[in-house]
Amino acid sequence: MNKECVNLAGCGFFKKYGETKDLACRGFIASYCRGEKMKDCKRLQYKKDKGIPPSDDMMPSGQIIAGVTKV
């Protein structure tokens, strides 16, 4: 299994939240972007289905982030 998602370099979520101190975002990155749930990423499925990337605020689980700062 790959250690990182094939789309990591172009992923808007990762670009926006990859350096955040928010524990929830860090957990999603560890599980989906670099972990066992990589194949379940809703962002990749969205891009495949619609041909365009989803909002940067769409988490790999498919939920939309509201109010997270990039501190």
The pLDDT tens digits for 53-65 are: 999 999 999 999 8
Whether residue 59 is contained in a domain is answered as no
Whether residue 56 is contained in a domain is answered as no
- Tokens representing residue 57 in the block: 């605020």
What tens digit of pLDDT does each residue of 15-35 get?
Answer: 999 998 889 889 999 999 999
Cβ atoms of 5 and 33 within 8 Å: the answer is: yes
The count of domains in the chain is 1
pTM: 0.83
Vertex 56 angle, CA 11 and 2, to 5°: 25
Query: CA dihedral in degrees (17, 62, 40, 70; nearest 10)?
Result: 10
Q: Which domain holds residue 37?
A: 8-50
> What's the pLDDT at 15?
94
Helix (H, G, I), strand (E, B) or coil at 50: helix
Q: What is the DSSP letter of 61?
A: T
**67, pLDDT greater than 70:** no
Q: What is the DSSP letter of 9?
A: G
